Amino acid sequence: MLIKPDLKDEEIIACLRDVYGLTVDKVTFLPLGADFNTAVYRVTTSNQTDYFLKLRSGEFLEASVSVPKYLADLDIKQVVAPLVTKTGELWASLASFKAILYPYVEGNNGVDAKPSDDHWVQFGATIKKLHSLDIPSSITKDVPRETFSSKWRKTVKAFLIRIESEVFEEPVAVKMALFLKSKISEILKLIEHAEELVILIQKQPLDYVLCHADIHGWNLIIDKENALYIVDWDTLIFAPKERDLMFIGAGIWDSGRTSDEEESRFYKGCGQTEINQDVLAYYRFERIIQDIGDYCEYIFLSDEGGDDDRMQCFEYLQSNFRTNGTIERAYTYYKE
């Protein structure tokens, strides 16, 4: 979220004092991320210790904090565990938000600080551990299971019909509607391929594992000591492993490497893995469709956020259609 929530700093300071026992001198809003339901802050205490505060509105999975805590307790060093409250909880309530507090990691995300070869190996090894661990059901009890829902395909189809006749006034909405009109046939092909693949893969025996489901460069952090961390566990799901593996070489973020280079280094850490190409192609198509649907809902159905938030959405949507972008790369695993 790029726009600061309608929440007074004094409310945040009082919550951190009452729930975590911290004496806070300063809270600084950080305009980071494309998640409309998440706002983050840097918190500085009276003894000059910094913390990272995450405020989550809307849907909240308890597993999004309990799973990384469990992994960190197993000494998986690439995971940052949330801090516990005075009563031993992993989050607190603050207005309409869930408040989660972490140690502050000074560094850059994997887009700004390109991961090294060793980082890619660590990345692969960590995801392999996540997929292989038998985490107690008491920790993962609210994690959803993949259903291959048609929700986003239907959503995008509806918006493509709507923009043909509706007149928009807000500047970003006008630009986005014009752009989508120019890409209608391409988008409908994506939906058609995803629907074909759903029918095909649901006839196959599939193994389900716990997936992070959003392992792109913005959710990788490289700190000042060159340590790698995987963050933002809000999208956990039980799904085929390709739900995570689809990100490697998909072009969702600029890693500074080719698709082949990403894959060779990641799988050096992950190990030999048999990939179901139909499932991976489905997830790449579906991710693009979901992004289009998300951005359409935000731009066409709400007036939330400022100009920067809205323009960022439009730019993210456009990037899918660039040469060597996500759409082009999704087709590399698609078999006619």
CA–CA dist 107, 141 (Å, integer): 33
pLDDT tens digit sequence for 151-207: 999 999 999 999 999 999 999 999 999 999 999 999 999 999 999 999 999 999 999
Please tell me the predicted confidence (pLDDT) of residue 333: 85
> Do residues 292 and 151 touch, judged by C-beta distance below 8 A?
no
Nearest Cα residue to 88 out of 20, 140, 135, 14 = 20
Please give the domain boundaries of the chain with CATH numbers for all domains: 9-104 (3.30.200.20), 120-333 (1.10.510.10)
pLDDT tens digit sequence for 99-141: 999 999 999 999 999 999 999 999 999 999 999 999 999 999 9
pLDDT tens digit sequence for 4-52: 888 899 999 999 999 999 999 999 999 876 667 889 999 999 999 999 9
Please tell me the predicted confidence (pLDDT) of residue 5: 82
pLDDT tens digit sequence for 239-258: 999 999 999 999 999 898 99
Please tell me the predicted confidence (pLDDT) of residue 129: 97
- List C-alpha distances in Å: 192 to 7, 71, 319: 43, 38, 21
Nearest Cα residue to 242 out of 209, 289, 272 = 209
Model-level pTM greater than 0.95?
A: no
pLDDT tens digit sequence for 43-101: 999 999 999 999 998 889 999 999 999 999 999 999 999 999 999 999 999 999 999 99
> Do residues 131 and 266 touch, judged by C-beta distance below 8 A?
no
- List C-alpha distances in Å: 227 to 113, 120, 221, 224: 12, 12, 8, 7
